[in-house]
Amino acid sequence: MSIPSPDEVLPHRPPFLFVDEITELEPGTKAVGTWTLSGDEAFFSGHFPGRPTLPGVLMCEAIAQVGAFALLSDERFAGKLPLFGGLDSARFRRQVGPGDTLELTVEMGRLSARAGKGSGTATVNGELAVSCDLMFVIVDAETAG
């Protein structure tokens, strides 16, 4: 199975698309992707001057985007949009900065036509940077605005 690029599946666009590639996919169940930080991202200039650090909330967003890719790759969710419903148990274990590549993994748990849960991690060179549990609601993409 050929895996489409993130911009073919996700509604996100730069500067808010935080997934470069999906490397593994089980539609509706699991996805693994990567995000390489060039150092040119705007947030590094203010977070923090002299010690650029990827904000933890953006790592969680990147995990959620990989989860959205898994969900939207399932034909049951064509024309839908997953929105954050909650974030639980987020734990930040390592700083991430320019030049690092995050490996983002999400596994879906409970999933219905209207909502779901998943768990995700972001690692750098096999070292855990963040783990979190995601809750999301699923809405029609046309009426999400």
How far apart (Å, rounded) are the C-alpha atoms in residues 32 and 28?
A: 12
Residue range 129-140: average pLDDT? 97
Domains present along the chain, CATH in parentheses:
6-143 (3.10.129.10)
Rounded to whole angstroms, the Cα distance separating 94 from 122 reads 10
pLDDT at 144: 58
Q: Is the peptide bond before 84 cis (omega within 30 degrees of 0)?
A: no
Which residues are marked as active site?
47
The answer to whether 22 and 35 are in contact (CB under 8 A) is no
Least Cα distance to 64 among 128, 143, 144, 130 occurs for: 130
Q: Which residues have a Cβ under 8 Å from the Cβ of 68 and sit 6 or more positions away?
A: 10, 82, 136
> Which residue, among 38, 3, 4, has the nearest Cα to 18 in the 3D structure?
38
How many whole angstroms separate alpha carbon 129 and alpha carbon 53? 12
Tell me the percentage of the chain whose pLDDT exceeds 70. 98
What's the gap between Cα 115 and its chain centre?
17
Question: pLDDT at position 145, please?
Answer: 56
Question: Is 90 exceeded by the pLDDT of residue 124?
Answer: yes
* pLDDT tens-place string over residues 59-118: 999 999 999 999 999 999 999 999 999 999 999 999 999 999 999 999 999 999 999 999
Please write the tens of the pLDDT for every residue from 15-69.
999 999 999 999 999 999 999 999 999 999 999 999 999 999 999 999 999 999 9
pLDDT band at 142; cut points 50, 70, 90: confident
Q: Is the pLDDT of residue 143 over 80?
A: no
